[in-house]
Amino acid sequence: MKRFAVVWAGQLVSVIGSALTAFVLGVWVYLGTGSVTQFVLIQFCAVVPGILLAPYAGAVADRYDRRRIMLAADTGAGVVTALLLVSVSTDSLAVWQVYVASALTATLNSFHLIAYQALVPALVPAKHLGRVNGLMQLTQGVQIAAPLVAGALLGLVGLRGVLVIDVVSMVFAVAALLLARLPAGASGGRGGGARGLGAGLRWLRGAPGLFTLCVVFGLWNFLFAVAGGLVQPLILSFSSPATLGVLMAAGGSGLFVGGLVMGAWGGPKRRVLGIYAGLGLGGVFLVLHSLAPSPWLIAVAAPAFLFTLPLMNTCCVTLLQTKVDKDVLGRVLGVVRTLSTAAMPVAYLVIGPLSDGVAEPLMAPDGALASSLGALIGTGEGRGIALIFLVVGVLMLALTAFAWSRPRLRTVDDLPDAVTATEAHPDRANPERTHS
């Protein structure tokens, strides 16, 4: 646990710096262009590389020293931020540079995240995995809460100062990794590489409950991407950037508290029940986002919705870490990341045109839905985005019903644990021999 604490602390500081940069760059693009589409393209660029490269990142994590992978990723991200700093200092920063930097950082983060998740079971006993994964969710809470600090820093030190802070945070993360004394089992090196890229998918297909879980998370991530890509424009349609920072921080507090709860609790004994609860409650809270253009409503609905994320993510990751053979864990995590996030770029591509060209005109004072749904959620600027939130919330409730109807998913906790699975199925212990 001490080893994990050192690594975790360094990564937490790094996430804070990256979140500050992401927020100020997003505000810079949106206020400079006034375009939801250009704003959402940042998130598109931040997702696609991770989807495409996750299987390769998993193979690398199974073959090479996972700490060195994390070191290389953190160092590379620091270099990207330093290059942005140069552009800002020379007054040459352009929107396309933000897109490129987002894509490069996402590529590095994909390798980093999978190596990190594959490393954790080597650092802590299996009985503590739920609590540790809950603590790892705190980094997401800090990431979303960072805009409150970023808004203040933007006025005090400017964009350049925020980028300097990000570079320093990367240095701290690298130092923590160098200082941590990790066990020999932290490295990969057993059957990884290009030949093993398909092993993750083959193993996953042999565990139908886990495969169904990936499908459900893929649909959930699509809905989450739609809502996540539009929440800042929704708030900015009736509030100032300063209020946006406060509300983003309020939302982050839900993630932070959720991470604390999961860190202390570890989740339900049957992990799938936590996933069902997160899906259902998430749908309800997304619907609440749409009901009125009120900062107070968002201040309640956003933290409540984001509280469900640590519950779902902790249960999902812990299931994978306990059920998947350690020698193929990196590749399975890579495949899961690709399958569960593949639809997110589609969401980022469609929500701009959907919002600007369809939903907003429908909810204009003289729009086609003004006299019907307009009576429920209001009309005018930003109400088209609210309409999308309403639809997404209803679809998430429908996804909850679909997930509950899958018997293999309901019994996924009954799959044998990794050690037992290896002993019972020798072929699975060697991913090169695994078959469909």
Looking at residue 379, its pLDDT comes to 96
Output the six-digit token pair for 430: 């060697």
pLDDT for 434 beyond 60: no
The rounded distance, in Å, linking the Cα atoms of 63 and 59 is 6
Which CATH number is 2-178+195-433 given? 1.20.1250.20
Count of C-beta atoms within a 10 Å radius of residue 407: 10
Domain ranges of the chain: 2-178+195-433
Output the six-digit token pair for 179: 């200082």
374-400 mean pLDDT: 96
Output the six-digit token pair for 133: 């994964």
Q: Buried (b) or exposed (e) across 44-57, using 16+ Cβ within 10 A?
A: bbbbbbbbebbbbb
Looking at residue 23, its pLDDT comes to 82
pLDDT digits (tens, 9 = 90+) for 145-181: 666 677 778 778 888 999 999 999 999 999 999 888 7
pLDDT digits (tens, 9 = 90+) for 10-31: 888 888 888 888 888 887 787 7
pTM confidence score = 0.80
User: For the CA atoms of 169, 174, 179, 180, what is the dihedral angle to 10 degrees?
Assistant: 100
83-99 mean pLDDT: 92
Q: In the chain, what is the straight-line distance between the N-terminal and C-terminal CA atoms, in Å?
A: 37
DSSP per position, 292-317: -S-HHHHHHHHHHHHHHHHHHHHHHH
